Structure formats: structure tokens, C-alpha cells
Amino acid sequence: MIPLQPVLLSGGSGTRLWPLSREAYPKQFLPLVGEDTMLQATWLRAAPLAGDTPPIVVANEAHRFLVAEQLRLVGAPVPRIVLEPVGRNTAPAIAVAALQALDDGADPLLLVLPSDHVVGDVDAFRVAVHTASAAAAEGKLVTFGIVPTAPETGFGYIEADANARGVRHVRRFVEKPDHATAEHYVREGGYYWNSGMFLFRASVVLAELERFRPDIVAACRASLDAAKRDGDFVRLDAAAFAACPSDSIDYAVMERTDAAMVLPVDIGWNDVGSWSALWDVTARDADGNAHQGDVISVDSRNSYAYARRLVALVGVDDLVVVETDDAVLVARKDRVQQVKDVVAQLKAAQRTQVSLHREVHRPWGSYDSVDVGEGFQVKRIKVKPGATLSLQSHKHRAEHWIVVRGIARVTRGDDVFDLRANESTYIPIGERHRLQNPGEQMLELIEVQSGDYLGEDDIVRYEDAYGRTG
């Protein structure tokens, strides 16, 4: 029996769900539906199919610690995390996953799954993978087509024989249609939404990539051959991967190969590509409202609200209201695709809200900038049990640390000492220092910075447990 290798694609930025999803913390790392994040849910539905095989994850280098920690929390076997220095779409991502699988000494079936989709019927998903396995084992490139429930214009379509059973040959791939064309597809039958999920042998998809896009395979092979292995991380060579053309697996292979097949499935799939799509997959009350967080609704209907603090909706219909620590979105539900225009304006203005939340996650924990003014900044810092920050200094700022909870082991110059709740210390400008949590509970402290420059790039690192430089 051919082993099955899950490949989780986790390189997306998820800006269509701004302000909750941001470049540094995109939607695959958020618990948008249920308690698990979307990445965790993707692994959990694939895990029983994989047995003891750990996933290969292709991810943005900046997200490497988020991927590793989130999969650890749900008990995944230690994954092989392939780090992209730049995004190059799905064809290169699948190419490096196939090359990595073959380098590991096997030629498995690659189950390629975007890590930011919702699948409501997990049992039906697993049955579909089993059904597609025979064709994939025989050298076919199988994609999973979603049986359409509406004339959706936001998805590409796959045309196949509506009268065939099970896995069937692809007639053609169709670009996103206008509404009238989408209505025709649904009425005609034989058209399925393109889900971006695939099942094929590693050697077969690589051979087809070699056939149609040898330039992509050559660049991916060079980037993997020159990769740096850092524990569970495979750091692709930046120069070689940056030279790789950007292309989707659909354009590069699936639309050109004679081995493309599709299995129509009805698995409660949603790509959660907008706030209105999230409203579709979230439990709603009798008035059609979907709420997460502290929300009160009065005489309001068919609205979505996400709140960190109390949000009240009064007399509104078909709205989306999203409240985070540093931004609020209010939009008509039928106009949420224009969130991308907000993100574009933020990028043009070089606003930090396009990429960072107020609370910024780091491999050792997180920091939350609770107040900032001329010459000062106040942060709430959380350090995980056993974690340590880099040995560092600052050229422009001094720091005052006050412990709120837990034990802080402080290195300040040549001194090393512990602080507990309500104890504090001062770090002068230019002093080498380090913060560690030797305890078994989260360390929380307040940091007050003072100086003429308070940017995050004012860090000189001398030692770092996470391989960062600066």
C-alpha cells in the first residue's frame, strides 16, 4: 500500500479577513470556526489518513514558529516545515514538497491541502480521499471538485462528465465566471468549484512539472539542494527560490496534462475568502446573526460581528462589524470584498496595521503595546514557561521591567538574578540583557521603555535560541 503524505500549504497572507487576519498572523493561524485554528483543523482531519506520517508544511519563513507551535499543541508528529523566503504560488510549493518527500526516501501519495479552508463534513472528506487514492496510485493527478450550491462567481470551475461516477477525467478548467455564466454552470451540471485540494504521487506530479515547467523544478531543486537544515525547519536557499517563476499548479500542470482527473465531493467546503463567507459557515441565531465575542444584538438581522470588547448592534441588517484592539471594520455584507482596498491604502501609507496586531507573537511568547507617546512606550510582555529572549542591547532606549506574574530570570551585564511579582529592575541604554522564564507558568511583566527612538529594529543580538540575527 502506497503511504499517504499530507502536505499543508500555509503560505497565504489572508488579508481579505482584515483586521482580524494580518500578514504577520494570517487566517490559517486563527480559530475562526470552532476552537482549533484553521491550520490545526486541517491537520486533524488529515491525521487519521496519514497514520504515523508527519506532515510536510510549506510556510512563510516569518510564520515558522507559529506553524511549529500550533501543530505541537494538537499532538501532530514533528512536521517537516519547508520555509519559503518569498511567496511563489502553489506550483513551486508543491514542487518543493514533492522533492522533499522523495528525498525522505519514499514516493508517497501527496495529499495537498490549503491550510485555511473549512470542511464541515470531515467523514465525507476522508471517504473522498480513499476514493481518489486508487486513481492517484495509478498515476493520475486528482483534484477534488466541490459540488456547487449556488452560482458563485468567486471560484474557478472544473468541467467534467456529469453522468460519470466517482473519479472522472477533467474536460477543462474555467476561470471565475460572471453571474450569468455561473448560473448556466449550476443549471447545466458537470461543473464543480475548484477547491485547490489534490492527491497524486510525488514522482508523477514532479514529472509533469518537469514536462511543462522545467524552469520551476530546476529552481526548486536548486533551492532545496542549497537549503539549510535547522532542526525541523528546511530553509530554502533565498536566491535560488527567488529566481523561481511564480505560477499556480493549475496553470503550470493541471490545465495542460492529460492525467488530470476530478472527484466531485459534497463535504461542507468553504475557502472562507471573505467576511460574508465566514458568516456562511458560522452558527447563526433566529435572526440570521452570527456573533463571536461579547456582542449584543437588538432588532438586527443577517449580520456578522466579531468583538474583543462589548459591541452592540441596533437596528442594522446585513452588516459586518469586526473589532480588534487597534482597528474596527464596518462594512455592508455584500461589499466586504472591498476590504482589499482598505489594505491597499494601509500599505501605501506604510501603516503597521496591515501586517501586525497590537499584540505581536514571538517564538518565546508575545508583547502588547498598551500605550505609546513622545519618548516612551509601555508593553505587556508574556514569556512561555522555559522560554528565553535573546541576549541583546539597545542603542537608543532604556527599559524598566515590573513583574506581574511568574518568575523572571534577568541577565543584566554580568549579573543574573530572579524577580517575582511586584519586583522590578532597570536596564540602562547599551546594557546587555536577557529575560528568561525558568518557571512552569506564564511569565507576565510590564515593560516601560524610554528614549529618543523606540522602534523594534533597535536591537543588537549577541545570542539567540531561535536563530534570529539583528
pLDDT tens-place string over residues 144-184:
999 999 998 889 999 998 888 999 999 999 999 999 999 99
Q: What is the mean pLDDT of residues 210-234?
A: 94
* pLDDT score of 14 more than 80: no
Residue 106 has what pLDDT?
85
Looking at residue 254, what DSSP letter applies? I
Residue 55 has what pLDDT?
96
Q: What is the mean pLDDT of residues 184-209?
A: 95
Burial class (CB in 10 A: 0-12, 13-18, 19+), 192: buried
Considering the chain, what percentage of its residues have pLDDT values greater than 90? Answer: 88
User: Who's near 174: CB < 8 A, 6+ residues apart?
Assistant: 156, 157, 158, 159, 185, 191
CA distance 250 to 259: 13
* pLDDT score of 469 more than 80: no
Residue 13 has what pLDDT?
75
Alpha helices (runs of H) in 75-151, residue ranges in sequence order:
90-103, 122-137
Residue 15 has what pLDDT?
84
* pLDDT score of 429 more than 70: yes
* pLDDT score of 12 more than 70: yes
Q: What is the mean pLDDT of residues 327-341?
A: 95
* pLDDT score of 470 more than 70: no
Residue 441 has what pLDDT?
96
Name the amino acid, one letter, at 455. G
Q: How far is CA 249 from the centre of its chain?
A: 19
Tell me the per-residue pLDDT of 297-319, one tens digit each, with 9 for 90 and over.
Answer: 999 999 999 999 999 999 999 99
CA distance 24 to 285: 33
pLDDT tier for residue 421 given thresholds of 50, 70 and 90: very high
- Check residues 112 and 360 and name the one with the higher pLDDT: 112
CA distance 409 to 438: 7
Q: What is the mean pLDDT of residues 373-386?
A: 95
**Residues 321/306, Cβ–Cβ less than 8 Å:** yes
N residues, the chain: 470
pLDDT tier for residue 232 given thresholds of 50, 70 and 90: confident
pLDDT tier for residue 82 given thresholds of 50, 70 and 90: very high
Considering the chain, what percentage of its residues have pLDDT values greater than 70? Answer: 100
**Residues 167/145, Cβ–Cβ less than 8 Å:** no
Q: What is the mean pLDDT of residues 75-97?
A: 95
Tell me the per-residue pLDDT of 107-131, one tens digit each, with 9 for 90 and over.
Answer: 999 999 999 999 999 999 999 999 9
CA distance 8 to 97: 9
* pLDDT score of 390 more than 80: yes
**Residues 255/171, Cβ–Cβ less than 8 Å:** no
CA distance 203 to 143: 16
* pLDDT score of 266 more than 90: yes
Q: What is the mean pLDDT of residues 387-398?
A: 96
Domains of the chain: 4-270 (3.90.550.10), 275-344 (no CATH), 359-463 (2.60.120.10)
Name the most confidently modeled range: 355-364, 368-377, 402-411, 460-469.
Answer: 402-411
Residue 207 has what pLDDT?
97
CA dihedral of residues 144, 44, 246, 17 (deg, nearest 10):
100
Residue 232, CA distances (Å) to 271, 279, 431 in order? 28, 36, 33
DSSP per-residue string spanning 187-201: HH--EEEEEEEEEEE
Name the amino acid, one letter, at 115. S
* pLDDT score of 443 more than 80: yes
Residue 122, CA distances (Å) to 129, 258, 269 in order? 11, 30, 10
Averaged pLDDT of the chain? 94
* pLDDT score of 91 more than 90: yes
